[in-house]
Chains A and B, each alone.
Chain A
Amino acid sequence: MKNKKAQIQNMETITVVIIVMILIVIGIVYATNQKKASLTEERERTKDIEAMTTATNVLSMDFLKCTRGSATRETCIDYYKIKALNNNVFKEENYLHFYRLFGESKIEIKIIKNITGKENENITIYSLEDTENKTSIIIKTPITIEDAVWNINYFGIMEVTAYR
């Protein structure tokens, strides 16, 4: 009789130990998943900040801005300066500089010319697509595109695509 009681007590102890172990395992799995999720979130936030920095970098480049006398205008980009940049951005001597500024992203300017009776135009300033990371985020910014030769301001949208 005593032997049977002891056996039951042993069984209980083993069950309790197993259940406690299960609890510990659940805790570890949960903690790992949480850590993984927070790392992914952190990575996405970093990429978001990078995209915002890239968008701000393009608009803060003084050599692209419209100039009147010695003053530059914040929301205006010169049409001919973008075209010139587009032709020079991937030259060997310039590549590293622009890679540091824009990283893996695509910067496209859509010029809405149809309201002036002309055909719309798209100019890609910079494009370095990340083939491994499929997801991307797009930041749109309205800007004035000034054609200083014909003295016309076009409505433009700068689209910065950052790859995650």
Chain B
Amino acid sequence: MEIVGLLIIVILVVIIIFFSLSFKSKQTPTNTMISFQDTKITSQLGIVITETHVACGQRERKIRELIEDCATLKEIMCTGKNSCETLNETLKTILNITIGQDLDYILTIARQEQQPITNFTTQGCQNTRRRTEAYTTPIGSTFGPITLMIRICY
């Protein structure tokens, strides 16, 4: 009769092992898709942003022009707002539409080693311990290089 008790224990152990194995295998989702999507968005976003036109008074100006002006002379005025204010408003709209709902990000535009002219950081990116991936778009200007940097936090 002892052998029956031993076998029951063996069955229980086997069942527990099977369950734990199947639970473990279900917990590993494929994240190829997520990383493809994130890379696609962030690698192209900087280039697309700089090439986009924005309404500025009676005419349209490229965001690149607004960035250059905001980082240097601050001469451009768009319906009562200077280039920095117009730039910030436009970037806010674009970021909300594209990565705002799904990702945590930092977007900064800075001229050389100086203080950034604009900085958008979501809550999830404030923790510096999180793994990040950065994409930079160089913007040339007569006053020196300006860099637009997008960093995604995972």
* Chain B 68-98 near chain A by CB (<8 Å), digits 1 or 0: 0000000000000000000000100110011
Tell me if A41 and B30 are in contact (CB < 8 A).
Answer: yes
* Chain A 139-162 near chain B by CB (<8 Å), digits 1 or 0: 111111000000011111100000
| Interface residue B44 (Cβ < 8 Å from any Cβ of A) | yes
| Interface residue A81 (Cβ < 8 Å from any Cβ of B) | no
Q: For the complex, what is the distance from the CA of A51 to the CA of B34, rounded to whole Å? A: 12
Chain B, residue nearest A41 (CB): B30
Q: Please give the distance in Å from B124's CB to the nearest CB on chain A.
A: 19
Tell me if A139 and B44 are in contact (CB < 8 A).
Answer: no
Q: Please give the distance in Å from A117's CB to the nearest CB on chain B.
A: 4
Tell me if B60 and A152 are in contact (CB < 8 A).
Answer: yes
Chain B, residue nearest A155 (CB): B52
Q: Please give the distance in Å from A17's CB to the nearest CB on chain B.
A: 10
Tell me if B18 and A141 are in contact (CB < 8 A).
Answer: no
Q: For the complex, what is the distance from the CA of A110 to the CA of B41, rounded to whole Å? A: 15
Tell me if A139 and B25 are in contact (CB < 8 A).
Answer: no
Q: For the complex, what is the distance from the CA of A44 to the CA of B18, rounded to whole Å? A: 24
Q: For the complex, what is the distance from the CA of A141 to the CA of B40, rounded to whole Å? A: 6
Chief secondary structure at chain B's binding surface: helix
Count of chain B residues near A, Cβ 8 A = 38
Q: Please give the distance in Å from B61's CB to the nearest CB on chain A.
A: 10
Q: Which residues of A contact B60 (CB under 8 A)?
A: 116, 152
| Interface residue B142 (Cβ < 8 Å from any Cβ of A) | no
Q: For the complex, what is the distance from the CA of A117 to the CA of B90, rounded to whole Å? A: 12
Tell me if A19 and B7 are in contact (CB < 8 A).
Answer: yes
Tell me if A137 and B33 are in contact (CB < 8 A).
Answer: yes
Tell me if B37 and A139 are in contact (CB < 8 A).
Answer: yes
Q: For the complex, what is the distance from the CA of A116 to the CA of B10, rounded to whole Å? A: 72
Q: For the complex, what is the distance from the CA of A143 to the CA of B44, rounded to whole Å? A: 7
9 additional contacts, CB 8 Å, given A34-B25, A75-B48? A19-B11, A37-B22, A51-B33, A75-B44, A76-B51, A137-B33, A139-B40, A155-B48, A155-B49
